[in-house]
Amino acid sequence: MPNEFPPTASTTSASTASPPDRAERRGVGVVVERRRVDNPWIEARWQPVMLIPADPTLPDWSVLAEGPDWTRHYAGTAEIALFPTEAENYKHNLDGGSPSAYVILRPGGPAPGVRLLAVTVDPGEIDAHAEAGDDVIEALPLPIPLVLWMDGFVARHFVERPFHKRKRDRADPEALARHRRTGLPQEPAQHG
């Protein structure tokens, strides 16, 4: 069976001064739907709808299908990268019952007025993008070949770290007393 989501070449160059990049990467194609909405402030809503194998023959934003109020576009190819230091986040994604890939679209730019920013499987990375406010973030079901790839990556790189409850530091009354004395205004010295 051919690999529908083949590995992509590393975009970083290896140098002798830095350790080798142990990240693994896969390219995915993103299908986005533009749907007209009945709203006086916006004409349409953009929503990622599925991940497909990357197709280098399709230009970005090619129309795949159309209906009366909607159009599906091939938004382009994005790279999903897995890093060993983030294996715990990938494990949480897999253990959640419905492994997801998160597609991030950013409004603005040339036609069609939205651009494909990224695709990630790291739920922690989504928090940073959610704070931007305008980004469209959609969780999509992760295709089975990518689930199997991510599961193998987690099996090779995840290290269980035991939980250690920290003990509360006891307050030092002497330090608190010194802090209070230095925090008060001093009375002027008497000369006499």
pLDDT digits (tens, 9 = 90+) for 115-160: 999 999 998 888 877 776 788 899 999 999 999 999 999 999 888 7
pLDDT confidence of residue 7? 82
Lowest mean pLDDT among 3-7, 123-127, 179-183: 179-183
Mean pLDDT, the chain, integer: 83
Rounded-to-integer distance, Cα 66 and Cα 7, Å = 31
Rg of the chain, C-alpha, whole Å: 26
The pTM of this model reads 0.75
145 class by beta-carbon count within 10 Å (0-12 exposed, 13-18 middle, 19+ buried): middle
pLDDT at position 184 over 80? no
Q: Which pLDDT band holds residue 15 (cuts at 50, 70, 90)?
A: very low
How distant is the alpha carbon of residue 124 from its chain centre? 6
pLDDT the model gives residue 187: 59
- C-alpha atoms less than 13 angstroms from C-alpha of 110 in its C-beta half-sphere: 3
- pLDDT band (50, 70, 90) for residue 82: very high
